[in-house]
Amino acid sequence: MRIFSLCTFSTLLGTLVTVLVLEPSLILGNTALAQNQRPPIAAPAVGSAGDFSPSWYDREGLTPDEAVNVAVYERCNRSVVNISTVSIRTDRFFLTEVPEEGSGSGAILDQAGHVLTNFHVVQGAAQVNVTLYDEESYAAKLVGADPVNDIAVLKIDAPQDKLYPVVLGDSERLRVGMKVFALGNPFGLERTMSIGSVSSLNRTLEVQRNWVIKSIIQIDASINPGNSGGPLIDAHGRVIGMNTAIASRVAQSAGIGFAIPSNLISRVVPELIKYGRVIRGDIGITHVTVTDAGLRIARIAPGSPAELAGVRGPKVTRRGPISIIDRGAADIIVAVNGQPVKTAAEFLGIIENMKPKDIVRLGLLREGKPVLVDVTLADDSRLQEETSKF
């Protein structure tokens, strides 16, 4: 009997000590708990702007950092779509048409059914389908495209209650080191999220020969084939970019990815929806060669604004069936509107931001002497054929 009582007393004493050591809040009330927790703040609804902080991480056993990760995914994953394409390739040997499939990602822009993606995801496609979060697929049509900035807008006819638009943020507010989330469909794995940070800002990315996108965001979040066109999201659930490329020779993530900034998207998309393309001014200088002196003009489109203004390209002399080209007779571009230019990208970057009927002042070297020539830009329609593939 004494042994039983002693064991019982020892057990009770051990339990009491355990309670005192492991559960001080039982003795001190909720003081410790109150010191370590923030008051709950409700997250805004999908499609609305603003900060949010989840209130349930303590109940789910998540750290505050994990709670933000989960909240971003829960808020944004239904806005991400899978884009599948079918292109027709002609087999040169058998002279038959061979279908080729491709895939990418996109994001719902509004409840009218507009979808944002990369131009290269849908370029040349004969058929495009968009699959929503509920695995329902819809045929898509191309509303507009901007190959220069690798941006395209599609449209699907889907019920509004199935469309969850993203919220576009301000990419100018980004800082190196900020946390970002890349959503997409890498290798066809739907609505996958990768977490990383902003590695650098204001990079340039060449999307076509002599055409570059400025203000590119460099990130270290994992981006793989299929992520193209997916949204890059900040810790507040706002889209601050669109994933567009990875720096890797094997087409797999190598810790360096790039995204088109949201401010460029916000500027381009309204024109794509309204006009089907971005209306830019056309100068008519289609090729230049980089030299130590500047950009030597290699080709001017016949009847273009540059030719009409008196800008000189290579001199062509015909001698019977032979054409002799004197490239040294061409003007050399050294400045545009007083701004020095040394590369084709710098030259085209200035022209890209101008509209038809704008006047461009070219600073030229002609036979070694400085010359100023004013050129009135025309409407640029050279890219329309590229943007009407399907």
- State the DSSP string of 19-45: HHHH-HHHHHTTHHHHHH-PPP-PPPP
> What gap in Å lies between CA 153 and CA 284, rounded to an integer?
27
Residue with tokens 């944002």: 116
- Residue 102 region, left (φ>0) first, then alpha (ψ -120 to 50), else beta? beta
334 three-state secondary structure: strand
Where helices occur in 206-327 by DSSP H, the ranges are: 262-275, 305-308
Q: Residue 323 burial by CB count (10 A; 0-12/13-18/19+): exposed, middle or buried?
A: exposed
Specify whether the CB–CB gap between 117 and 106 falls below 8 A. Answer: yes
- Is 234 a known active-site residue? no
β-pair partners for 104: 83
β-pair partners for 154: 115, 142
- Is 236 a known active-site residue? no
Selected catalytic residue, list 146, 150, 282, 380: 150
Specify whether the CB–CB gap between 249 and 308 falls below 8 A. Answer: no
**Pairing label, strands 231-234, 179-184:** antiparallel
Selected catalytic residue, list 228, 253, 262, 304: 228
Closest CA to 390 of 210, 126, 51, 157: 126
Rg (CA), the chain: 29
Selected catalytic residue, list 79, 120, 220, 331: 120
Catalytic (active-site) positions: 120, 150, 228
